[in-house]
Amino acid sequence: MNLITFKLVTPEKTVLNMELVSLTCPTTTGQITILPNHEPLISTLVPGEMKAKTSDEEYLLNVAGGFVQVQAGSQVVVLADAAEHSYEIDLKRAEEAKKRAEAAMKEVRVNQEEYAKVAAALERSLARLNVARKRSRRKNPITSEGILEE
């Protein structure tokens, strides 16, 4: 079976380093799914949900932007501004961050730079919240120890 050699790295740590059967990423051109023997490419990531599938597990992650590079030989590297597993997201804190970002959007004035910063914060908050909510709806979410919760 052909597999993808995958590495997800942030400035702070290596989040995942494993072999996958597929990887789905949010990019500026839309969501893409990478399979073994994918054509080489480089694309910009946007905040959103990333799914990394092995033959028997699926990892649900939130990425805050960055780049994905697909190299010949099914090598995939994601350099993310920030990334976290769904189990690392505190749903209550994510909802509070969303509310703060929405309140800031209402207060922002004509300054385009300030508006762009607040809009980006809101986009990141919504992406985190979406991933956290999907994890909470799953029947058997994966915990930080990799053991399925009952």
CATH number of the domain enclosing 34 = 2.60.15.10
Q: Tell me, yes or no, whether 68 and 100 share the same domain.
A: no
SS (H, E, C) the chain: CCCEEEEEECCCCEEEEEEECEEEEEECCEEEEECCCCCCEEEEECCEEEEEECCCCEEEEEECCEEEEEECCCEEEEEECCEEEHHHCCHHHHHHHHHHHHHHHHHCCCCHHHHHHHHHHHHHHHHHHHHHHHHHHCCCCECCCCCECC
pLDDT tens for 57-66 read 999 999 999 9
Within-domain flag for 144: no
Number of domains in the chain: 2
pLDDT tens for 43-91 read 999 999 999 999 999 999 999 999 999 998 899 999 999 998 888 877 7
Enter the pTM of the model: 0.71
Q: Tell me, yes or no, whether 81 and 22 share the same domain.
A: yes
Q: Tell me, yes or no, whether 19 and 80 share the same domain.
A: yes
Q: Tell me, yes or no, whether 69 and 24 share the same domain.
A: yes
Domain range holding 47?
4-86
